[in-house]
Structure 1
Amino acid sequence: MFNSDDRSVVKIGGASAALHGIEADRIVAVQGGETADIQALLSSLAEQWCANGLKVVGVVEDITPGVRKACGGSVLRNVCSGARYALYQDLGSNSTACCLDPAGVADACQDVIREMDACDVVVLSKFGKLEAERSGLLDAFVRAGFLSKPVLTSASPAFSPSYLGFVGQFGALVPADESYLKAWMSRHRH
């Protein structure tokens, strides 16, 4: 979708980043921390930006320590409505299959897309396995791209190549640094 092969890779705060021109960081994926810490950072920034008058749409992952993912220990939460969506499904204690719940993520994605037209920024929990397989929240990434909305997300190192291949010249991998991300939002505020 947004792929470009003519970008350079540089270091930003110790994290690799794909950069090309002025739009190089419209879609940024945070790396460099534990999943729970990065999701807490995304949630905190969304709350701060809303308090400062920005219209923020998206979903973040709420993680409950000590509770199995498939038992509700990890859900997606809509940053506007507070609605919660299943992120994992219980496949039984003997299952070794991936327990991601594509239906719950698809529901979350459609709600985000419906809210996106008038927003200032989109916060999406992650570009991960489902998005690498061209499902999950991918339609929200695409819609945000068509609308030229800035997007804050995360990506594990395992999915960095797929993320960078998808966002091309419009995306970057950035550090899990609140000051950096606030400055990023200031550059993209219209």
Structure 2
Amino acid sequence: MKKNLVIGGVRSGKSRYAEQTAQEYATQLALPVVYIATAEAFDDEMKSRIERHKHTRPKRWQTIESGPKLVDSLNAVEEPCIILIDCLTVWLNNCLYYQQIDWQEEKQRFLDWLTRTKHVVILVSNEVGFSITPSNALARQFADEQGWLNQDVARIASTVTFTIAGIPHELKHD
């Protein structure tokens, strides 16, 4: 099935594009959309971001708030549907820094799921490699892990779309 990676910087329009793509697939394939939200509200600013995202998507979409337990949430989706995961960057951050989860093990579980799933999947992720190398070890580790995750997902994905200034640019299409 289709696996689409939508990647871009902060406020690049990647989530909006992913949601539009999910709606188009839902209409074409007559399937429901399951929105997997990876963010957790650790502070007021993140609570506000989460609320803003909730108001932008259709009410009929099922939302599953996975937090760092992304693979467990994905495994629970049994009925044929369109799965939209927003976003891999927040998931990585939560696994590495808030939950102290074994990232390599969790990442491999996710990549295995992505490879074998029969669902149409749209994945949102941030491109963090356009800046200078961070000055501290923690930020460098995050940038490295995000870059490697994006590369691994892009290899599996049938389509990769880069968004900038709200404009999607297709990088890969099988």
TM range (shorter): 0.3 to 0.5
Q: Between Structure 1 and Structure 2, which shows a larger proportion of helix residues?
A: 2
TM-score, normalised with respect to structure 2: 0.40
TM-score, normalised with respect to structure 1: 0.38
